[in-house]
Amino acid sequence: MPARKFDGEALRRVRRARDLSQEALGRAPGVDVDQSTVAKWEGGGFPEPERLPAIARALREPIDTLFPRDGQPTLADLRADAGFTQRSTAALIGTKSSIPVSNAERALRRLNAAYVPLLAEAYGVTGDQLLAAQDRTFGVAPAAQASTAPAPRSLAEKLTFLLETTFPGGRPTDDQIAAGVNDYAGVTVISADAVRALRTGAPPPSEVLAGLAAGVVLEGLAAFFGVTVSLFRSDEELERQLVDTVALLTLRGSSGSFALAARGGEGGLDPAMLAKIGALVAEAQQNAGPRP
């Protein structure tokens, strides 16, 4: 995306119109340069993008008027417009390194969801505006954001989707994924060949099946990709868990009613599942007998 336009001659004209010396402009808060640097800017140099907001404030001019931009901002543009260096973003997201922001600005890996509201607040934009800027950074056109492709359902489809959308600039290898899962587990639970089997839909080795049953492999994958483990569980698994929970609550004597929306609402269930749960609740209540 285009950077802000900078015209040294226009800067000189506005500075003189404000009766401000080069030295005074350089001492302005957030500008923080010497007189010779301002002179270089006016002679054809270009300030760091994160200094432009401070220069505009010192000259009492809207930044979009003094330094216009054609097009919408990327992640790096939003950061610069807020006056932050890339290095300073580590403190904004509560980490020791600015690598997560650097990777996102270079379209190598998208931001962890936890960082989005923190950066949006620091940059003075909404979460949606930050995500839109991230899409532009990764070259996703607005018209392409609404996809009609079916949502991934199998584990292989979900892994492929995450690899394509989270690491478009350089996907991790099967060895790297396996190492990440094993680091999470604290013991070797999966090999690169097993990761390849899960990713391609081939039958995984028996030891991986045992790990999947225990949940450790799924949890390790979720940690590696920065998502919740429920993403890797099938609808049937989640529904079975809900059925078990409803049965347990009912058998313990819960008298509360369950308001479950049909699928299509937020996290709702389909009518067939509702019917199964309703029958289960009725059967469990009948078996439990009257409450004392």
Q: What is the pLDDT of residues 97-118, one digit of tens each?
A: 999 999 999 999 999 999 999 9
Query: The whole model's pTM is what?
Result: 0.49
pLDDT tens per residue, range 139-156: 886 544 445 556 677 888
pLDDT: which is higher, 270 or 41: 41
Domains along the chain with CATH numbers: 8-66 (1.10.260.40), 75-144 (1.10.260.40), 156-232 (1.10.260), 236-288 (no CATH)
> What pLDDT is attached to residue 121?
94
Q: Is residue 226 exposed (0-12), middle (13-18) or buried (19+ Cβ within 10 Å)?
A: middle
C-beta separation of 21 from 91 below 8 A: no
- Residue 57 tokens read as 């404030």
Indicate the SS3 state at residue 263. Answer: strand
Residue 159 CA to its chain's centroid (Å) = 16
CA distance 43 to 37: 10
